[in-house]
Structure 1
Amino acid sequence: MHQTALERLNWDDLRFFLEVARSGTASGAARRLGVDYTTVSRRIRALEQALGALLFEKSRSAGFVLTVEGQHLLGHAETLESTLQAACEQVSGTRLGLSGHLRIACTEAFGSCFITPQLSRFLERYPHISMDVLPVPHFVSLSRREADLAITLERPERGPYVCSKLCDYRLRLYATPAYLEANGPIRSRDDLARHSFVSYVDDLAFSSKLLYLQDLLPGAHSRLRSTSVIAQYQAALQGRALAILPCFLAGPDPRLCEVLEGEVEVIRQFWIYYSEDLRKLKRITLLADYLRACAELNRPLLMGESNEMAYLPAD
């Protein structure tokens, strides 16, 4: 009796297909799945044979590249994955409460100094959820499932995303008291011309929203630059230069003081988003709602009106 493609298909092979499509390599998929390279290759070959279609073109330079047939399958496989995740969540939720694993990507300072502390309370509320936090100074791809939810400086211009503004935050000019004592008083913007700044590496900044130094202080001199705001913060603490830093990072630190209060500042936004196909996952929507509530509660800290972080109750 002739078998159809559906009858020949091993559904678990779709899991291997998704990881290869997202990582672009069999070795990358193998690491994420906890298996060896040959297992991944074998499962992809089995899937291609079951479907009677070539899903990837392989090259030394580009790795595993989806064919047209592979691109068609990817959309359907992601829909199946999301539906299965939602089903498992509902079934296990009746017995164990909300459970599962989440990965959140965010900008470096915000992820390290705000999101991570806030998430400790979220995990107390939902003890069966585990979390990865990726506070990195670059973009993370949601389409490749490098993360489930992202917080970025810019709203995504395209893509099937559920997106909303998370909050505004303010940056100000900071220095150590020792720096100000050694380099003379700063009474106006004109006085800044003779001072050195720590700033971003212009051509390597992952967002144009970070290039505010020249906009605020045209001609500002910077001898030390870094792609990391944490590195800029640490450099400012050495008392050798000025730095424009987020108030939520520098404000609570008594080793730094604001320079030209109210005169040199900038407001930026954080956006929170996740893939449309994850909308049905309750743990995703609950996390997004929780982070919005945390941001609203901490508006004074984020806008430089308070140096104290506030927390939602654990229950």
Structure 2
Amino acid sequence: MKEVVRHRSDLSDLHVFYAVAVCGGLNAAARSLRVDPSTVSRALDQLEARLNTRLVRRTAQGVVLTKAGEMALARVRTIESQIAELEREVLDSEATSPVGAVTLSCSDGVGAYLLTPALTQLLRENPKLDLRLDCGLWPNNPVEADAEISLVFNAEPAPGYISKPVAYFHYGLFGTRSYFELYGKPESVEEALRHPFLHHTAQTLTSNMTRKVPAFQDLARRRIETNSSAAVVEGVLAGIGIAGMPTVLASIYPELVMIGDAVEPVEMSLVYHRDIERIPRIKVVLKWLEAVFDQKTKPWYRREFVSPSEFGPFIGGQASNLPLGAGKVTERVSAQTQVPKRRIAASGV
């Protein structure tokens, strides 16, 4: 029994040392731990006495870690992290519903158009669950924690990680029905070159384009160039021009019309470390993601290509979410001489 108590005391002293190292001083650590500075000083002295070495040098400005202190801090960080994970696992296992936050990383298009609209049911069924959605648009301002689950295109295998393909994205050239009624629908990829193109800098469809136009993206007039999938989608819906987009968007916006054939599919995988898959809050999000990309009920995610014209029976009467001004227009004009007055008149404003 005495041995157990001694180890508990050791762990407490390590926690105090961690607070001192992170806060940069004894007084700051005492405020963080909500104890007296004398308690912090005594615990630090006890730890240094047991290790028979100095971990910090005390100065007027605070503390400075010794070489031994830096080594100890690296170890203690690992211990603190493991304790925090243990507490989360125990809390999750004892809770009637999953508790805590799950950090999920994905592209901004997947996050905005495919995941966020499907979050309502997940969060209603799990009121103690929070989701941190990291779409990677602001590297200097990430979400609070590293991603526990990632949706990755063309994922590479990594030791200790599970990589499970969940969806295949078929890309094609798209414009809206109202845009084509106004400017004429191209009957070939060559004709599509005459239309303004919204280019996503992360897309590499050139190698998969038809042989007739192997460098479509290089030849097309990039009326808009952006690194945001959402900007491309909203630009096409607003009638600016055409763009290469995944066919799944036609299940959300029936106003979208595809030109020509789809390119080879891009595989998207669910990636997570095998050590966390049994944690309840992780399990419930993984199960939800598999339902979001269920290929049986959503054929646009299958490896084999299914034309958007065949989506109807699977959408189930889903109301179209059309952009403002996407009304029917019968007059056709040249796509290269877009006239604002006609666009305003077409919107019914």
In structure 2, the residue matched to 1:237 is 237
Q: CA separation in 2, counterparts of 1:283 and 1:140?
A: 27
CA pair 171-277 structure 1, distance change in 2 beyond 3 A: same
Q: 1:273: which partner in 2? A: 271
Structure 1 spans left out of the alignment, 5+ residues: 21-25, 27-37, 55-65, 311-315
Larger Rg computed on CA atoms: 2
Partners of 1:168 and 1:130 in 2: CA distance: 27
Match of 1:97 in 2: 97
Secondary structure of 2:114's partner?
A: helix
Secondary structure, counterpart of 1:265 in structure 2: coil
- Structure 2 unaligned regions, length at least 5: 1-5, 34-39, 49-53, 57-68, 303-307, 317-349
Counterpart in the other structure of 2:226: 226
Deviations 1:231-278 (A, max 9, x none): 011211232321011222244324321112xx1434112222234443
Secondary structure, in 3 states, of the residue corresponding to 2:89? helix
Letter in 1 for 2:122: F
Aligned to 2:62: none
> Secondary structure of 1:187's partner?
coil
CA distance in 1 between partners of 2:148 and 2:200 (Å): 28
Residues 213 and 175 from structure 1, CA distance in 2 versus in 1: closer, same or farther, beyond 3 angstroms? Answer: farther
Q: CA deviation at 1:152?
A: 2.2
| TM-score in terms of structure 1 length | 0.67
Matched, 1:124 2:128: no
The sequence identity of aligned pairs, in percent, is: 15
Match of 1:282 in 2: 280
Q: Would you say how many aligned residue pairs link Structure 1 and Structure 2?
A: 265
Q: 2-side partners of 1:227 and 1:166: how far apart? A: 24
Taking the aligned partners of 1:270 and 1:212, their CA distance within structure 2 comes to 16
What is the TM-score of this pair, normalised by structure 2?
Answer: 0.61
Contact 2:189 2:259 in 1 (8 A): no
Per-residue CA distance 1:270-299 (angstroms, 9 max, x = gap): 222234443341220221122113312543
8 Å contact 2:251–2:315 — kept in the other structure?
Answer: no
Contact 1:197–1:220 (CA<8 Å) still a contact in 2? no
Q: Secondary structure at the match of 1:89?
A: helix
* Structure 2 SS opposite 1:101: strand
Q: Mapping of 1:145-160 within 5 angstroms? A: 145-158=145-158, 160=160
**Compared CA separation, residues 175 and 97, structure 1 to 2 (3 A):** closer
- Could you say which residue in structure 1 is the equivalent of 2:10? 6
User: Where does 1:33-52 land on structure 2 (aligned, <5 Å)?
Assistant: none
**What's 2:83 paired with?**
80
In structure 2, relative to structure 1, the CA distance for the partners of 1:8 and 1:77 (3 Å cut) is: closer
Residues 1:7 and 1:168: Cα distance change in structure 2 (over 3 Å): closer
Aligned-pair distance for 1:15? 8.8
Q: Aligned partners of 1:16 and 1:113: how far apart in 2? A: 45
Q: In the superposition, relative to structure 1, how do residues 276 and 39 fare at CA in structure 2: closer, same or farther (>3 Å)?
A: farther
CA apart distance, 1:40: 11
Are positions 1:306 and 2:311 aligned together?
yes
Cα distance in 2 for residues equivalent to 1:191 and 1:237:
20
**Per the alignment, in what secondary structure is the counterpart of residue 193 of structure 2?**
helix
Q: Cα 1:98–1:239, aligned 2, differ >3 Å: closer, same or farther?
A: closer
> 1:99-127: per-residue Cα shift (whole Å, max 9, x none)?
22223222212112221222222223323
